[in-house]
Structure 1
Amino acid sequence: MAASYHARSNNLPSRQHPIVSQIDENLNRLRASQSASTSSSIGHNLSGLKDLHKCVDVLLQFPLTQQALAQEKQREMVEELLDGSLMLLDVCTTAKDALLQTKECTQELQSILRKRCGAEGLANEFRKYLTSRKAMKKAICKALQNLKHIQNKLSTPGENGAVISVLRDVEAVTISVLESVLSFISRPEAESKSSRWSLVSKLMHQKKEMCEEEQKANEILNAEAAVRSCIKSKNMKHVENVQKELQSSELSIQDLEEGLETLSRRMIKTRVTVLNIISC
């Protein structure tokens, strides 16, 4: 980490400055938790990402930082980062819309289940829920492709000043966290089929176990799986389990919605600050 501080010291506050240290600590913490796959861990990362952007806002207030961003030779990189931040805000909006749509369908289905409709009526409502989830996943897929596009641009090598390097690091971590959010919302059910006659390595077996554990921890996926199971079995006795999973899913969605909303507001503030600096 000392090398990182040294590389940044030319046009950032002193390497001993608390805000520089805090940014690096937040970046490292988020990088270390990139494999987050539960709603609580992802929510924690969204909160950590919000704090990181808050630190960046403080950094952007330093005259030395502003002078570095205002340099003509940095203009192209700054504008590229601004384009990326706009796309990231669009991705945030897509994620929030997907969560809202899923929450509304979840609440509507819960309301119908409480009315104790007949088996045929419930089956139709279950299918409507699954159809809505399918449409939502298409939008998520497109958003994930956009994240990949931004990520590819960030991986392009070039001579960057210290401030630009920090902003690129922050954008890269933001992409990672948002990717985990989108994957959590839309992750398809893990394939359960396996060829009995084939040899499966220990590594693949461990990977499958990890995937199954992630599924158990995904409240949104559990609700969807419960609905599918109820349709497949045609046994309305499973309705109580569906209700239970839908309630858990709704709570999970609420936490993620709040995390994305606060992050979006912080990202907008950072973007506006950078725009003001380069327009002066």
Structure 2
Amino acid sequence: MALQHTRSRSFPCGSQGAAIVKVDESLLSESTPSSLSSLADRIKGLQNLYESIDDLLLLPHIQRSIANECPQKCLDEMMEGYIMLLDACAAAKDVVSVAKRDAQELLSGVRRRMHAEAASTYLSSRRKLRKMVQKASFLRKKQNLGKGYEMRPVEKLLMDAKSATLGMISSLFFYMMGTKAHSCGSLVAKIMESKRVEETEFTKVDAALMSFMHNGDDGVKFADVLKSMECSIQIVEEGLECLFRSLIKTRVVLLNILSY
């Protein structure tokens, strides 16, 4: 279950309270995902979360509360936060798109028996991917959410959704770089400094490629490994595109509330 619902007395509507969505702890986890499939599930959970947030933001009493009672600092953080989320999601889409293209080109090279050229291009692109991750601006920004004011349920929900989304994208970058996730410190520093490589689909392909090139392993088996990773990347890429559209929609809803 990606979502939970509770009753809140903070936003009364007649004699009944509003159903407030809570972010499931699994979406807030900073642990390294076990597979691209688990990442895709996490992205789907975030899509469901933002759909529920949109439904909540359509309630008139919730809209009035945000527009009239939410501290200005909180409003500023929320709107700035959605710009950051869109930038982060766009960066993730770019990185995943490059990774998918690399897998496709390497697979094509293996099938055409252009092993050395394809391998060189793939490994060079992996280094470029690492640089793309290092340049992702959102990874360098400190998150000081909710400092200086008390957040109510809807405000906390929006801030938690932001943290969950940034956490997922950070986990995606960790996973693609084969770097173990850390609960503190900047992602950029950890990726640069980490000596430990976690086993992921990407590191498995890296290892299989080295074995294939140096030991003459079965090309058909290696092609199957590549094809499987390409399909998994495709699912993640489609999920990120849907999440990006969800973020735009939620931000538009918030802008409409604040301009009402």
Scaled by the length of structure 2, the TM-score of the pair is 0.80
**SS of structure 2 residue aligned to 1:146:** helix
Which residue in the other structure is 2:244 paired with? 264
Cα shift readout 1:26-66 (whole Å, capped 9, x = no counterpart): 52342468553311211111111110110000110111111
1:237 maps to which of 206, 210, 217 = 217
Corresponding position of 1:132? 125
Q: Does 1:227 align with 2:220?
A: no
Tell me the matched-pair count.
Answer: 242
The corresponding residue for 2:93 is 96
Aligned residues with identical type, % of pairs? 32
**Post-superposition CA distance 1:208-264 (Å, at most 9, x none):** xxx88x61xx22332122223344x2x333534432221121011011011111111
Task: Tell me the equivalent position of 1:195.
Answer: none
Higher mean Cα deviation, 80-89 or 153-162? 153-162
Tell me, in whole angstroms, the C-alpha distance in 2 between the residues paired with 1:187 and 1:12. 48
Decide whether the 8 Å contact of 2:107 with 2:223 is kept in 1. Answer: yes
2:184 is aligned to: none
AA of the residue aligned to 1:268:
I
Matches within 5 A, 1:101-250: 101-117=98-114, 122-143=115-136, 146-147=138-139, 149=141, 152-154=143-145, 156-188=147-179, 215=199, 218-231=200-213, 233=214, 235-250=215-230
Q: How far apart, CA to CA, are the structure 1 residues paired with 2:12 and 2:100?
A: 44
Which residue identity does 2:151 align to in structure 1? N
Cα deviation for residue 14 of structure 1 reads 9.2
More displaced stretch, 96-105 vs 154-163: 154-163
Cα distance between partner residues in 1 of 2:18 and 2:148: 29
Q: Offset at 1:131?
A: 0.8
What letter corresponds to residue 122 of structure 2 in structure 1? Y
**Cα distance between partner residues in 2 of 1:13 and 1:274:** 20
- Amino acid paired to 2:154: V
Which residue of 2 is the match for residue 46 of structure 1?
43
Normalization by structure 1: what TM-score? 0.75
State the AA in 1 paired with 2:83. L
Flag the structure with larger Rg: 1
**SS in structure 2 at match of 1:116:** coil
Distance in 2, matches of 1:126 and 1:222, equals: 14
Secondary structure of the corresponding residue to residue 151 of structure 2: coil
Matches of 1:47 and 1:244, distance apart in 2: 26
**C-alpha contact (below 8 Å) 2:46/2:165 kept by paired residues:** yes
Give the Å deviation of 1:157.
4.9
CA distance in 2, matches of 1:19, 1:257: 32
Contact 1:220 1:252 in 2 (8 A): no
What are structure 2's unaligned runs of at least 5 residues? Answer: 181-195
When residues 59 and 115 of structure 1 are mapped into structure 2, their CA distance, relative to the original with a 3 A threshold, is same
Flag the structure with higher strand content.
2
> 1:278 aligns to what?
258
| Residues 106 and 250, structure 1, Cα contact 8 Å, conserved in 2 | yes
